[in-house]
Chain A
């Protein structure tokens, strides 16, 4: 592999450049090293960086062009040689610059600052990558499939022979139903837990309970999914659905919703805890001083003051619930239908993304490409919820600062 050889050679050259730069700096300083503007290690590092950065840039550009299809595989050795040339040139320039007056430290610091800046741009590149890949493939999907049928169609029956009905409405219904149940479980429990811990619990109780609730947050979602599949699902089926005659499916909206609710408890409680703690103590003292009981203080003073923040927390939890995948894949089922019965299996957007994109998929058929349109919808919904929630939380924080 010529490219990996080029990379290896570049790093060797850089290492050699460090040693050469340092010794040249010592040599140019004469008997007194204080004559130098920068310490000798900076001289070494400046040579190493000037030898390292240009070839890496060449290699990165070459790989990008290769991926974009401008270059063929045959051109890669040329890129490798170009990179080596760049490395040697960089080394030469770096070495010749060394002297008593050369401000090596400033040069190194400028280069390091550039690298740091580059790293922080990766977040932007990731977002751009997500948006581009989603939008591009969604565009291809809408060339093959009518967008009105996608957004307003109430039937989801993908067929590999073609002529599929790909309406998002039943998936959206399932997603919202599961999320609503999850929030109905998580918000009261999480909120009461947070209120109790910040207003009532002793230090010792808090020291035990808070980490224990946080353990729930550290458990991977696949574990919750398996729990829904092998424990909660059969339990609900055998003790509720079948005796009540409401269906006999092991997977159901209620199963996924309950388990997801458990998953969201620590999320809601830790966010609300922060928010409740941010309410100034003077408000509590005022209420208590007027003779209200602690619970009246919480209900009539603390919670109203914290309300915007709590709404933000709930919105963040909702965005989590909508984007959650493994619990619904294992717990909610795969049948796309719109029904009010929570003990029936329904499906969600994320389940269908997984089922359309796993296995052998043909990236020219609408049945596969629809997953990107679903992904874009999911991305837009969660992004909107997050942005609104962040704005609310930020505004609220400023209120008491």
Chain B
């Protein structure tokens, strides 16, 4: 071999220029890979961190603790403490009673804030608070005539002030609050009258209107999502498993089966919003089912989830070795018996895992539900089963979307809080799926 005159003699110990370049390229390439993984990890961490920090506030809520004098002459004009008659007294009247109680409390504590107006004092409590008081009085009519200590919701801006969302500077520009009001709230908090507690109502209550983010909760959305998951579980799982068994174990290899198979893999890749259009056209316009009902949402999600259940189920069936089938057939079982008595039980862990992951996907799906009217404003939690399936309902991801469309920034906190709830549910489902896989997976 003749040496190239341009190249200096190289050895294993001393790299020549070309080897150096190649090694550098090797290192660069390696770093590209590490960089790509680092970027995805950073994205994941930032994504989760922002949602968690934004949403944590939704789980805490400030309350104003004040004594309210429930004047019998105003709240029960007839004086016989009959809840049916007392229900004629409007929430508006309770609002006046409450305003007076707040005003009295501020006067009693002798809080001095320069330029404090009546509007500032009234604005301390949420617009929902009077309804809160009214509900409690109607539930316990004997309270009328007494002075009772109430924990009432504070207004959204006051709540935001204690969570750091509203500051003195932002209050200056805000027509719904003022620095004076915040000073008053701070003074009340110093006296222990405004307290921050864990917000159970966020998980219990339904949505609230634009003006009262502090009263909005995901209760109705959780119920709606639960009903839809129930429909998916009852329909998609048995149908999906039956279809997989047929395709994997019984179907003859012909054109017809081929079409079904291509069809299923294509359906799994159809954009979810197209299923929403299908649901709108087929279930609402054609079949006349009610809008925003969990049954329609459940049916749409069923159609969407079916291929996503069939594909892992078939994989699980395929993973059962043929020797199991042959052994069953060999001792005289029919084909059907070999499948149902032997193959299916052995494939169950895989099927369950696929099923749970399919349900988790359905739980997080938003787009198709928007089209079937689930964006509607839902003030009531759907009733019990089965009639609740036809009541208007919301769903967790749709509730998030709904809240992002509101103008008050307090709803962003609620939306992030709802996402935390959704992610907790998804986490539980995924952990369950992983646990099932780890515990029961069998390698042949």
Chain A positions within 8 Å of B, measured between CB atoms, are 67, 105, 109, 112-113, 115-117, 119-124, 126-127, 129-130, 133-134, 136-137, 188-193, 195-197, 200, 209, 212-213, 215-216, 218-227, 229-231, 262, 265-266, 269, 293-296, 298-299, 316, 319-320, 322-326, 329-330, 350, 353-354, 357-359, 363, 371-372, 375, 378-379, 382-383, 386-387, 390
Closest residue of chain A to B266, judged by CB?
A386
Interface of B, secondary structure class, is: helix
Kindly state the separation between the CA atoms of A226 and B47 in the bound complex, as whole angstroms.
10
Could you jot down 14 A-B contacts, CB within 8 Å? A120-B242, A124-B259, A127-B266, A133-B278, A133-B286, A212-B40, A213-B44, A262-B47, A319-B271, A322-B271, A326-B367, A326-B397, A379-B270, A382-B271
| Distance in Å: Cβ of B360 to nearest Cβ of chain A | 7
Interface of A, secondary structure class, is: helix
Kindly state the separation between the CA atoms of A371 and B285 in the bound complex, as whole angstroms.
15
Contact of B51 among A227, A372, A387 (CB under 8 A): A227
- Is B260 a contact partner of A193 (Cβ separation < 8 A)? no
- Is B364 a contact partner of A216 (Cβ separation < 8 A)? no
3 A-B pairs with least C-beta separation: A323-B271, A196-B33, A220-B364
User: Given A105-B334, A216-B44, A295-B29, is A229 in contact with B404 using a C-beta cutoff of 8 Å?
Assistant: yes
- Is A296 a contact partner of B22 (Cβ separation < 8 A)? yes
Beyond known contacts A120-B251, A191-B36, A220-B366: 13 more, CB 8 A cutoff: A67-B287, A121-B260, A200-B33, A212-B44, A218-B360, A220-B365, A225-B401, A226-B404, A325-B366, A353-B371, A354-B370, A358-B370, A383-B270
List the A side residues contacting B422 at CB < 8 Å.
220, 222-223
List the A side residues contacting B282 at CB < 8 Å.
129, 133
List the A side residues contacting B264 at CB < 8 Å.
123
- Is A193 a contact partner of B401 (Cβ separation < 8 A)? no
Q: Count A-B pairs with CB separation below 8 Å.
A: 252
List the A side residues contacting B36 at CB < 8 Å.
188-193, 196
Interface mask (B17-54 → A, CB under 8 Å = 1, otherwise 0): 00000110110111011111101110110110011001
List the A side residues contacting B303 at CB < 8 Å.
126, 129
Q: Is B246 an interface residue (CB 8 A)?
A: yes
Kindly state the separation between the CA atoms of A298 and B306 in the bound complex, as whole angstroms.
38
- Is B265 a contact partner of A390 (Cβ separation < 8 A)? yes
Kindly state the separation between the CA atoms of A378 and B307 in the bound complex, as whole angstroms.
19
Q: Is B430 an interface residue (CB 8 A)?
A: yes
Closest residue of chain A to B236, judged by CB?
A122
Q: Is B215 an interface residue (CB 8 A)?
A: no
Kindly state the separation between the CA atoms of A389 and B1 in the bound complex, as whole angstroms.
49
Kindly state the separation between the CA atoms of A363 and B286 in the bound complex, as whole angstroms.
12
Contact of B286 among A67, A294, A316 (CB under 8 A): A67
Q: Is B280 an interface residue (CB 8 A)?
A: yes
List the B side residues contacting A109 at CB < 8 Å.
334-336
Q: Is B143 an interface residue (CB 8 A)?
A: no
